[in-house]
Amino acid sequence: MLKNHYHVVGVMSGTSLDGVDLAEVFFEFNNGQWDYRFGHTFTEPYDDRRDKSWLASLVNLSPAALDEADHSYSLMLGAVINRFIKANNIKGLDAVCSHGHTALHQPKKGITRQIGNQKIIAEVLKQTVVCDFRVQDVALGGQGAPLVPIGDRLLFGNYDYCINLGGFANISFEQDGQRIAYDLCPVNIVLNELVKPLGLSYDDRGQLASQGKLIPDLLAQLNALSFYAQKPPKSLGLEWVKRNIDPLLKGQQHKTEDLLATLVEHMAMQIAAPLKSNAKLLFTGGGAYNDYLLQRIEAHKSLKIKVPERELVEYKEALIFALLGVLKLREEINCLSSVTGASKDHSSGVIFNLNI
| Confidence band, pLDDT 50/70/90 cuts, at residue 356 | very low
**Average pLDDT of the residues of the chain:** 94
Give the residue from 77, 66, 88, 180 showing the smallest Cα distance to 120: 77
Total tally of structural domains belonging to the chain: 2
Residues 27, 131: one domain?
yes
Residues 295, 155: one domain?
yes
C-alpha distances out from residue 85 to 10, 11, 44, 90, Å = 12, 12, 13, 5
Residues 167, 28: one domain?
no
pLDDT score recorded for residue 355: 53
Residues 86, 202: one domain?
no
The CATH number for 242's domain is: 3.30.420.40
Residues 186, 288: one domain?
yes
Residues 232, 332: one domain?
no
Q: Which of 278, 293, 309 is the last residue of a domain?
A: 309
The stretch 164-189 carries a mean pLDDT of: 94
| Confidence band, pLDDT 50/70/90 cuts, at residue 146 | confident
304-346 per-position pLDDT tens digit: 999 999 999 999 999 999 999 999 999 999 999 999 999 999 9
Q: Does the pLDDT of residue 233 top 80, yes or no?
A: yes
C-alpha to C-alpha distance for 6 and 213, rounded to whole angstroms: 50
105, 72 in Cβ contact below 8 A?
no
104, 59 in Cβ contact below 8 A?
yes
For 63, residues 6+ apart whose C-beta sits below 8 A from its C-beta are: none
Q: Is 182 helix (H, G, I), strand (E, B) or coil?
A: strand
Q: Range of 217's domain?
A: 149-309
Residues 195, 213: one domain?
yes
Q: Does the pLDDT of residue 198 top 50, yes or no?
A: yes
59-78 per-position pLDDT tens digit: 888 889 999 999 999 999 99
225, 244 in Cβ contact below 8 A?
yes
